[in-house]
Chains A and B, each alone.
Chain A
């Protein structure tokens, strides 16, 4: 398996623009997670899905952030409009259902908002 696939790997955009990050989880995994990592705050869970259904989005910082999972093999995280403080590395991870399973992380998308 190719592992969790994220695109793009790097994104540079200007403040106010819409940004869409994409994730393809490992085939057969039922849970998908979106994380944000910064030097100041470390890794933070933004939202997670079980069987394509959002379960906990309490980590989504504000209404500018939205996430969707239209099917078992694809998810998006959208920021509209983007702001410089959104600059971070965004990770997608997937796992089998159930909290005892390992989460497998993708390579991340490094977002820079100018």
Chain B
């Protein structure tokens, strides 16, 4: 069964600190992996998209990594800000069609 598992489910960090979110997937055949940020009451916003051949991609203070062999990805947030408080969703696309498989998300709370 195609699945995307994220950990932790939630975490609290202090402003200015770094954190890393994990994503493991079993989706096959694999096309690409995406990280989305979803603020409360808003729609998800894409942070990164990585294909099989890419193992790291950055978007400002967000850096995503991908190990397609072990089917793992991580999202690292550097020097967290209060505005980073949101849910972060890992999404994997299969090679065929446009269907995406969503992880359950990690809820991040940044405290001053």
Residues of A within 8 A of B (CB): 4, 31, 33, 42-45, 48, 50, 55-56, 91, 93, 99-100, 102-108
Chain A min CB distance to B4 (Å): 10
Q: Does B46 contact A (CB under 8 A)?
A: yes
B97's partner among A4, A43, A56 (CB-CB below 8 A) is: A56
- A105 contacts B97, C-beta separation under 8 Å: no
Between A and B, 10 residue pairs with Cβ closer than 8 Å are A42-B103, A45-B100, A48-B98, A99-B32, A99-B93, A100-B31, A100-B32, A106-B43, A108-B41, A108-B42
Q: Roughly how many angstroms separate A77 CA and B7 CA in the complex, as a whole number?
A: 33
Chain B min CB distance to A41 (Å): 9
Contacts A48-B98, A104-B46 known; 19 new A-B pairs at CB < 8 A? A4-B43, A33-B98, A42-B104, A42-B105, A43-B44, A43-B89, A44-B102, A56-B99, A91-B44, A99-B31, A99-B93, A100-B31, A100-B51, A102-B49, A103-B46, A103-B100, A105-B43, A105-B45, A106-B43
* Number of residue pairs A-B, CB distance < 8 angstroms: 49
- A55 contacts B97, C-beta separation under 8 Å: yes
Q: Roughly how many angstroms separate A42 CA and B101 CA in the complex, as a whole number?
A: 11
Which chain B positions have C-beta within 8 A of A105? 43-45
Chain A min CB distance to B21 (Å): 15
Chain A min CB distance to B11 (Å): 18
- A99 contacts B46, C-beta separation under 8 Å: no
Which chain A positions have C-beta within 8 A of B93? 99
Which chain B positions have C-beta within 8 A of A99? 31-32, 93, 97-98
- A108 contacts B98, C-beta separation under 8 Å: no
Which chain A positions have C-beta within 8 A of B104? 42
CB closest chain-B residue, reference A50: B98
- B32 contacts A45, C-beta separation under 8 Å: no
- A56 contacts B43, C-beta separation under 8 Å: no
**Given contact pairs A42-B102, A45-B99, A48-B98, A93 touches B43 in the complex (Cβ within 8 A):** yes
- Contacting A at CB under 8 A, from B54-107, are 89, 93, 97-100, 102-105
